[in-house]
Each structure stands twice: as C-alpha cells, then as structure tokens.
Amino acid sequence: MEAVLFVVFGAVAVAGALTVVMARNPVYSALGLMATMFSLAVFYIVHLAHFVAAVQVIVYAGAVMTLFLFVIMLIGVDRAEDISENLPFQKQIAIALGVVVVALGGVLAFRGRFTWVLAPSAGADPAATNGTIQSVGRALFGVDPTGVVGQTAGWALPFEAVSLLLIIAAVGAISLAFFRPLRRRGGDE
C-alpha cells in the first residue's frame, strides 16, 4: 500500500517539479508546484505527520500559491523569456559541472554510509511520532504528556522569534505596497 502511494504520488511530485522548471507560462509553473505540494502532503500523512500535512495544504497550497497566482496575474504572463547566455561556454561548463554533481551524489548515495540517519534511536516507538496537533504543540513548547512545562527542551524562544519575523514581513510588504518610490528627475533611465 505504501509502495503504491509512493510510486503514484512520487510520479506526480516529480512531474509537477518538472512543470515548474520547464513550463514557458508561469501559470503552468504555479499549478505544477501546487501538484507537488499536494503530493508531499500525502507523504506527510503517510509519515503520520497530520499537523504538518494540514499546514502544508492550508499555508503552502492555499495561501502561498494564491499569492503567487495573484502576482502572476498582476504582472502579466505573456512575456517571452530570453534564453541567450551572456558568458562564453556557459552552457558547456554548466552541463559538465552538473554531471560532476550528479556523479558525486550517486557515489555518496550508493557507496556512502547513511545508515545512521535511518536507524531508529534506542527505544523509539514509531507510533510515538504521531504528529497530531497536541503532540506537535507539546514538542514545540517542551511540555511532556503529563502537563509539566520545561521538562524537555522546547522551541518556545524560536517560536516567538518567528512570530516577530512574520510581523516584520507583513509590515515590510505593506510598506513596499503603499509608499511609492520618489520619482527621479534626472531621467537617466
């Protein structure tokens, strides 16, 4: 069952990723990215990360992609992209370096020793990583299941820092949208 899910939604994810990169029309790129995000949400549910899956669909596939589509509609989609290169031999060098990177990755993947990341830590229960809202919240704020605060290392300070970051981003976006730049008088454009 998991293998079927992996093959089907893995194919959807890779096809969506290729659409993002290769589509000439940015709207198709956005839709391909949305397909990739939905199939990743399926993988998160397979991994019992229910909260992350829901947030992936709501925030990424919902809010972020809506924002992308709005901006695409705003600035127009029909501009042909210039694909000429400025640097000499850029394409050949890029292809050679890409082959080197893929070869190195293959050597690492098939000859390296990566079992350390795949081995469960001692006494780990796979069902213990059932990522419901309650369990992710407890992990986030360092509350153990009996309700005692501060027994385990939490993420409360990064959480607050991230909320500050969100406020700064919202204020920055609003100021970018509201305050027009001063027109230069020189006419040097």
Q: Which of 21, 87, 157, 182 binds another protein (CB under 8 A)?
A: 21
Work out how close the CB of 176 gets to another protein at its nearest, in angstroms, rounded to a whole number.
4
Work out how close the CB of 129 gets to another protein at its nearest, in angstroms, rounded to a whole number.
5
Q: Which of 12, 51, 54, 57 binds another protein (CB under 8 A)?
A: 51
Helix (H/G/I), strand (E/B), else coil: 180: coil
Determine if 105 is a binding residue for another protein (CB under 8 A): yes
At 112, which amino acid appears? G
Residues of span 65-104 touching another protein by CB under 8 A: 67-68, 71-72, 74-75, 79, 81-83, 86, 94, 98, 102
Work out how close the CB of 148 gets to another protein at its nearest, in angstroms, rounded to a whole number.
17
Determine if 119 is a binding residue for another protein (CB under 8 A): yes
Determine if 158 is a binding residue for another protein (CB under 8 A): yes
The DSSP annotation for 103-147 comes to: HHHHHHHHHS--HHHHSPPTT--GGGG---HHHHHHHHHTB-TTS
Determine if 54 is a binding residue for another protein (CB under 8 A): no
Asked whether 147 and 134 are in contact (CB, 8 A), the reply is no
The site that binds another protein (CB under 8 A) totals a number of residues, namely: 75
Per-residue buried b or exposed e for 27-63, using 16+ beta carbons within 10 Å of the residue's own CB: eebbbbbbbbbbbbbbbbeeebbbbbbebbbeebbee
